[in-house]
Amino acid sequence: MTDAVTLFGIRHHGPGCARSLRRALETLQPDCVLIEGPAGSEPLLAHLADAAMQPPVALLSHAVDDPQLAVFHPYAEFSPEWQALQWAAQAAVPVQFIDVPAGISLAWQQQARRAEEVAADVDEAPSDEEAVVDEATANLPHDPLDWLAHAAGYDDGESWWNHMVEERGDGEGLFEAIAAAMTELRTHAPQRPRGDEAQEAIREAHMRSLLRDARKAGHARIAVVCGAWHVPALAASVTAAADKAVLKGVDKLKAQTTWVPWTYRHLARRSGYAAGIAAPGWYDHLWRQPAAGSRAIGWFARVARLLREHELDCSSAHLIEASRLADTLAALRERPAPGLDELNEATRSVICMGDDAPMRLIAERLMLGDALGSVPSAVPTVPLQRDLEAQQKRLRLKPEALSRTLDLDLRNDNDRQRSQLLHRLALLGIEWGRLGAVGRSSRGTFHEVWQLAWEPSFAVELIVASRYGHTLALAASARGLEQARAANRLSELASLIDRVLLANLPDAVEQVAAELQARAATDADPLALLGALPALANVYRYGNVRQTDVAQVAQLFDSMLLRASLGLPLALADLDDESAVQAREQILAADRAVELRQGESQQQAWQRALHIVAHADSGTPLLRGLCCRLLLDAAVLPLDEVRRQLSQQLSSGAEPLPAAQWLDGFLNRNATVLLHSDALWALIDEWIAGLGEEHFVRVLPLVRRSFAAFAAADRRDLGLRVQRPAGASRAAVTELAWDENRARRALPMLRELLGVADG
């Protein structure tokens, strides 16, 4: 620190530092402000005067040649850097960012990614020297502030810094004390070895270089706002030549920078943000409630409002007693006012009565917070993002950080267009919404239920996706075609048709369908053809609800079903047990698909194939039994024929294991046929009772697995039926006397329930 330069060491996103910094700047009245931020981004500061610029926001920088390489510099209203920017704008004082340009940070990110790829390819154990270093540093504090915290009797540096700096408001001599503390730490505290010492040295050399340039420009009072850790390095006497040598030859990528909205959720440490804080919502409260006396009262008022909104009990007496307890805890701990720890302990003990469930709600909604910033429309961005923003505005679909449920009625034009927008984003890999079901099915009705939550990283994904097109429709279509060409299975292509149809991309539907048709024409595997049918059936069955043309899909379905039906008996002839289990799932899914298609000729072709498989003399018993059951459920196989098949497959001369496999397929995880057919029950009972001990032990696991798949209520009913003597249920029904007068008394209620007029 010199007469011309004043160093303000701050914590990124610290409200106490921000408040003290504003007061210090008012006192100092510097004629130049240097801020730790990506150098070269100064032209974007012109947007700060726009009222639409509302924090939290972030400077997003991405590599021009590889947009997936991106770096964020976020700011909240309580960030000291943001307050320095605001003060400088109001005072008309020039501002400059002095950290390394974004292109250098992106180059480091690229190098780290390559190093990870190399490490993944070469899995090497640590050397003996590395192991010794790891063991020697295992017990060292991770955060250098922990040394000061332990000396002051605190558990960790986070809580110490909160109580000493952020929760104490404007501190007299705060920045001089921070500078002294950081100097001691960097001089004496043993540091855990890190891999970024070289990068840190480059950053500090760059900051010193720009500080020298500001001095040469003739500024009389220079204010430098930087992370507290860097203060001793910027105050050190280092020659310009030494810094120039450090900066020589540093790699740099071509980068572009813009402003993007940010969220408190992504300011939190748990999001993975390196400079993250534990409770952004609490820091926001500290910024808005500077007076220690009213801070606890304001916090408890917010707690009460939140709990009452969720219909949880929180009376005035709760709040009074919780406030008293928080004050008492602060006094016992010799703290001037309750901090977040004391407020949380009082809330859990008094208001929540020791229950952690309401505390989780408080942590999510108040301590973390759901704030989402905004940026002006004049901020430079890619055309694809502009198109998305225009559609969001037109469809009244505002991005929100907090997860919410969106129930769309697809008969409504606006809701249908919202659905198409979300499906187009999903094709691009931008999962703003996740399709689910809450209360009602999301497929097969006029409703789609989405869970929406906006992520700041979507800004990067939009930049990456912009290579596919300048509008969502063009980009999603191009991405769909790329996925179609990369698909390895017919089922993937069929599912992709469903997705592009839901996104209302007719050109993509035509081209993906053509790709599927070309692949299906050369694919001789009937099971692969069957795997594509369920998705096509869904498209055909539910497409009209979404006002999409499904004629081409119906034609595809019919041709693929016919080819699969013709080849199915041969494809199922000689499968091993594992392949047979997989084929069963494909056959069941295809059977449901044919039922959805609701075409008579299609059902006949499918049932002919099932009939051939069911009556084959050879083949997998599991699948023969399954086909027999499907024909029985479709009411195209007479019960007498089913009895004959069952008698033949479970005869005393049949091998027990194939017989058990056939029975497993026939039962098909459904006990209905056993509960309602005495003849089939008797045949299966006779087969099991006639097994010898050795055969019974062999088939028992398979039979148990078959019965274990039944619903619990069905297993209970089967157990009750086993307890009854044979024929008891029919005899009980036969012996019941018909009472016509009692039956007539139920007729009025039945007519009312069924809506039938009196006859």
| Residue in 597, 601, 592, 599 with CA at minimum distance from that of residue 630 | 592
In SS3 terms, 209-244 reads as HHHHHHHHCCCCCEEEEEEHHHHHHHHCCCCHHHHH
Torsion (CA) 682, 687, 688, 691 in degrees, nearest 10? 150
Separation CA 132–CA 113 (nearest Å): 27
Q: What is the DSSP string of 260-324?
A: EE-BGGGTBGGGT-TT-BS-HHHHHHHHH---HHHHHHHHHHHHHHHHHHTT----HHHHHHHHH
- Check if the beta carbon of residue 567 is closer than 8 Å to that of residue 507: no
Mean pLDDT of the chain: 83
> pLDDT band at residue 522, thresholds of 50, 70 and 90?
confident
Q: Is there a contact between 200 and 104 (Cβ–Cβ < 8 Å)?
A: no
Residue 138 confidence (pLDDT) above 70: no
Q: How far apart are CA 207 and CA 44, in angstroms?
A: 20
Asked if 174 and 165 touch (Cβ cutoff 8 Å), the reply is yes
CA–CA separation, 468 vs 81, rounded Å? 37
- Helix and strand numbers, DSSP H then E, in the chain: 35, 10
Query: For position 53, what pLDDT does the model report?
Result: 94
Instruction: Assess whether pLDDT exceeds 60 at residue 63.
Output: yes
Q: What percent of the chain has pLDDT over 90?
A: 34
pTM exceeds 0.75:
no
**Nearest partner of 623 among 612, 637, 633, judged by Cα:** 612
Structure tokens belonging to residue 40: 């070269």
* pLDDT in the model for residue 691: 72
Mean pLDDT, residues 654-674 taken together: 76
- Whether 648 has a pLDDT exceeding 80, the answer reads no
Express the helix, strand and coil content of the chain in percent, nearest 5 each: 60, 10, 30
Q: Is the per-residue pLDDT at 124 higher than 60? A: no
DSSP state of 725: P
Q: Is the dihedral of CA 82, 87, 92, 98 positive or negative?
A: negative
Contact yes or no for 362/303 (Cβ under 8 A): yes
In this structure, of 285-299, 450-464, 632-646, the range with the lowest mean pLDDT score is: 632-646
**CB within 8 Å of 134: residues ≥ 6 apart:** 126
DSSP 372: B
- What gap in Å lies between CA 71 and CA 274, rounded to an integer? 12
| 10 vs 726, higher pLDDT | 10
Higher pLDDT among residues 121 and 343, named by residue: 343
Q: What integer pLDDT is reported at residue 307 of this predicted model? A: 94
The two most distant CA atoms of the chain are separated, in Å, by 112
Cα–Cα distance for residue pair 703/679, rounded to 1 Å: 19
Predicted confidence band at 342 (pLDDT cuts at 50, 70, 90)?
Answer: very high
What's the whole-number mean pLDDT along residues 154-181? 83
Which range among 144-153, 221-230, 295-304 shows the weakest confidence by mean pLDDT?
A: 144-153
Q: Give the pLDDT of residue 123.
A: 56
pLDDT tens-digit profile of 580-594? 888 888 888 888 888
* Whole-angstrom distance, CA of residue 502 vs CA of residue 496: 10
pLDDT at 753 over 90: no
- Terminal-to-terminal C-alpha distance of the chain: 102
Is residue 74 within 8 Å of 273, Cβ to Cβ? yes
- What whole-number distance in Å separates Cα of residue 292 and Cα of residue 622? 74
Please list the residues that pair with 224 across neighbouring strands. Answer: 7, 34
Distance of CA 392 to the CA centre of its chain: 21
For residue 733, pLDDT beyond 50: no
In 372-432, alpha helices (H): 383-394, 413-427
Residue 440 has pLDDT above 50, yes or no: no
Are 168 and 16 spatial neighbours (Cβ–Cβ below 8 Å)? Answer: yes
In the predicted model, is pLDDT for residue 147 greater than 90?
Answer: no
Both structure tokens of 299: 């916090």
CB atoms within 10 A of CB 82: 20
Return the pLDDT at 2. 52
H helical segments located in 125-239: 128-137, 145-151, 157-164, 174-188, 197-216, 231-235
What is the model's pLDDT at position 550? 67
Q: Model confidence at 438, in pLDDT bands (50, 70, 90)?
A: very low
**pLDDT at position 424 over 70:** yes
The answer to whether 557 touches 498, Cβ cutoff 8 Å, is: no
Question: What residues contact 371, with CB distance under 8 A and at least 6 apart?
Answer: 56, 76, 263, 264, 280, 281, 284, 401
User: Mapped to the 3 state alphabet, what secondary structure does 586-650 carry?
Assistant: HHHHHHHHHHHHCCHHHHHHHHHHHHHHHCCCCCCHHHHHHHHHHHHHCCCCCHHHHHHHHHHHC
Structure tokens at 109: 């990110």
* Dist CA 24 CA 18 (whole Å): 10
pLDDT-wise least confident of 55-64, 386-395, 401-410: 401-410
**pLDDT score of 549:** 59
370 pLDDT higher than 80: yes
pLDDT bucket at 623, cuts 50 / 70 / 90: confident
Distance, CA of 533 to CA of 594 (rounded, Å) = 8
- Read off the pLDDT of each residue in 237-251 and give the average, rounded to a whole number: 93
> What pLDDT is attached to residue 5?
92
DSSP 84-116: HHHHHHHHT--EEEEEPPHHHHHHHHHHHHHHH
Dihedral angle over CA of 563, 566, 569, 575, nearest 10: -20
Q: Which two tokens stand for residue 208?
A: 């010193």
Q: Tell me the C-alpha distance between 22 and 223, whole Å.
A: 12
Note the pLDDT of residue 730. Answer: 46
Exposed e or buried b per residue across 120-152, where buried means at least 16 C-beta atoms within 10 angstroms of its C-beta: eeeeeeeeeeeeeeeeeeeeebeebbbbbbeee
Rg (CA), the chain: 36
Tokens coding 390: 């225009």
The candidate with the shortest Cα–Cα distance to 75, out of 66, 67, 65, 85, is 85
Phi, psi of 670 (to 5 degrees): -140, 120
Order of strands, edge to edge, in the sheet holding 404-409? 404-409, 447-452, 433-436
Structure tokens at 207: 């900051």
pLDDT-based confidence at 432, cuts 50/70/90?
A: very high
Distance CA 14, CA 161 (A): 10
pLDDT classification of 603: cutoffs 50, 70, 90: confident
